[in-house]
Amino acid sequence: MDTLNKLTQLEVGKKYTIVGMSEFGFPYQFQIVLEEVRVEPYAQYKESYLLIFKQKKKILSRQIRFYGIKPVLVWDGWADPDTEMYPFKKTSDYGSSGVVVIRTGYPCFDDRYMQRARDSVKTAPIIEVYDKPVIQVTSQARPVAMVE
């Protein structure tokens, strides 16, 4: 895994697209104009990276803090990565109730959200900090004999 110190290489005044994971483990994205990057201690972390920015079409500045092993993808310019957390929508099969059933694509804190966001943009991100998923094929569970 790369380290978050690459965030200090971002240039003030440039446009970037940031994709990260919320504290609840689901993806978010911001299209920003960077105003400042600060490195400072936060809670139990010696180094945290505070990005101060203006979001696309907004007036007020916002900030976001990265620390520990928090995943992040950053593209140069304004990209449109796929960060949809509810890709599976269908209308109920129970008559004409019109109930819409929605479920998330993956469980919370799943790195496949970050992989899908990365794969949905033609250009590679300039900063990529996350654990890439390892796809494992497992066979069906077999009964285990008890050995005494």
Higher pLDDT, 88 or 6: 6
The model's confidence at residue 52, banded by pLDDT at 50, 70 and 90, is very high
Confidence check: pLDDT of 42 > 70 = yes
Q: What 3-state class would DSSP assign to 94? A: coil
pLDDT on residue 136: 44
pTM of the entire predicted model: 0.78
Cα dihedral 6, 9, 14, 15, rounded to 10, equals -10
Res. 68: pLDDT tops 80: yes
pLDDT at position 16, please?
97
Predicted local distance difference test score (pLDDT) of residue 106: 84
Q: Which residue has the higher pLDDT, 32 or 93?
A: 32
Average pLDDT in the 37-59 region?
93
CA 139 → CA 23, 79, 144, distances in Å?
A: 33, 39, 14
